[in-house]
Amino acid sequence: MTWTDDQWDAFAALLQAGWPGDFNEAERKAARVLLDDVEPAQVIVALKRLLHSGRKFYPRPAVSDLLAELRSEPERPTFDEAYPTIYRSAAKGLIPTGLHPLIAAFIEHQGLERLGQLPLDDPDWGEKHRRDLRAAWIEHVESWNGRQVAAIASGATGPRRLDPASALGLERGES
């Protein structure tokens, strides 16, 4: 995606209107290069969310702030929100349709059979198993975030299979 001059000028005007201070030509050029492969409408939404959050920036949000806001998912479930769905899925032995992709990936990664065998209601060990499950959720979310950042930085539009040879610049079969 390449921004048109009109789109970029409108964005720059919004950025300058949202936060006081000059948005000089060098900053404009650098920001345009860094944001050029991102949909303008998505950047505007991120900009509006930053404005509505009331966070203070001096003199304005950096490109990294905008990119981080693009990745943020206000609808991303917390463990406490995901737990009932995980628990029900394990008890029924199936993953319902329409789940947040993070929850579905967690259930798939943990395995329905394994989740179904965890004694989460056990009076002696249930709390420990729930803590372990929460820790696994946190690790899963961090991993998800890392993959999302890597995909965005590489220009990919979705998750890809890890290919270490490619990442090292080697052809398959080379060593």
Residues 85/98, Cβ–Cβ less than 8 Å: no
Contact 50, 70 (CB under 8 A): no
CB 38 within 8 A of CB 71: no
Residues 67, 23 within the same domain: yes
Q: Is 175 within the bounds of a domain?
A: no
Residues 65, 84: one domain? no
| Low-confidence stretches of the chain (pLDDT beneath 50) | 158-160, 162
In a domain, 167, yes or no: no
| Residue 35 · residue 66 · CB < 8 Å | yes
93 and 124 together in one domain: yes
pLDDT of 169: 60
- Output the pLDDT for position 172: 55
144 and 120 part of one domain:
yes
Confirm if 107 and 115 have CB atoms less than 8 A apart. yes
pLDDT for res 96 = 86
* Residue-level pLDDT at 115: 94
Residue 168 located in a structural domain: no
Are residue 96 and residue 135 in the same domain, yes or no? yes
Tokens 């919004």 belong to residue? 14
Alpha carbons within 13 A on the beta-carbon side of 71? 19
What's the pLDDT score for residue 167? Answer: 52
CB 136 within 8 A of CB 144: no
Q: Tell me the residue range of the domain where 9 lies.
A: 5-71
Say yes or no: 84 and 67 in one domain. Answer: no
Residue 88 maps to a domain: yes
Instruction: Calculate ∠ Cα 103-107-108, nearest 5°.
Output: 115
Q: What is the pTM of this model?
A: 0.57
How many folded domains does the chain comprise?
2
Same domain (yes/no): 126, 148: yes
Residues 85 and 144 in one domain: yes
Q: Are residues 40 and 94 in the same domain?
A: no
Res 147: pLDDT: 79
26 belongs to a structural domain:
yes
